[in-house]
Amino acid sequence: MTPPTWPLVPAEMQRWVEDVSVTADRVGRGEIDRWLPEELARLHNQFERVHPFIDGNGRTGRLVMNLVLVRSGYPPVIIFKRQRSAYLAALQRADSGDYGALGELIARAMYDNLNRFIVPNVAGPARLVPLAALADEEFTLIALRRAAQRGRLDAVQGPDGIWRSSRRAVDAYRMARHQRRLGNTAPNE
């Protein structure tokens, strides 16, 4: 991909801003909802193709994409460093007009972030949410799933195969685990 020469950048950015505005209006009217991830992929790719800055185009493009998402009522997305190769490959495919892979990456990031950050905060401490939404630095999704399967974490497995629990249940599991550790490390009397 070769970005436009610098004298063309302002006009290309103006064209991109107009396209974003029209797309956001169509999203607001519900005309694009079904294809939103691919439409976002197209817009993001167009920004990256203009390459308006010497450095930071990817970060700025993802930030602007999140601005469009949030203003349209959707959760922001986070593309993690471990996804870099898939992200770059998807951008390269988008350069040739195939926005599917980049759209899928955006859709998965939106879904993951919705479950990880938004659902637990809206659900409250006692509401059942997928274990992925309750995972943190102390307990990974795998650790929570194992605790649920072993009956140590109060959780239920739905007909869809997804384990669900509550923040309150994870806190109770954390306390019980902490007390077991204290019991194991306490000196003999």
Catalogue the active-site residues. Answer: 51
Q: Are 164 and 129 in contact (CB under 8 A)?
A: yes
Cβ 55 vs Cβ 41: under 8 Å: no
CA distance linking residue 78 with residue 141, whole number of Å: 18
d(CA 187, CA 189): 6
Rounded-to-integer distance, Cα 8 and Cα 14, Å: 10
Closest CA to 111 of 135, 77, 136, 159: 77
Closest CA to 107 of 181, 162, 33: 33
Strand partners, 52: none
With contact defined as beta carbons under 8 Å apart, do 118 and 75 qualify? yes
Give the C-alpha separation, 71 to 56, whole Å.
22
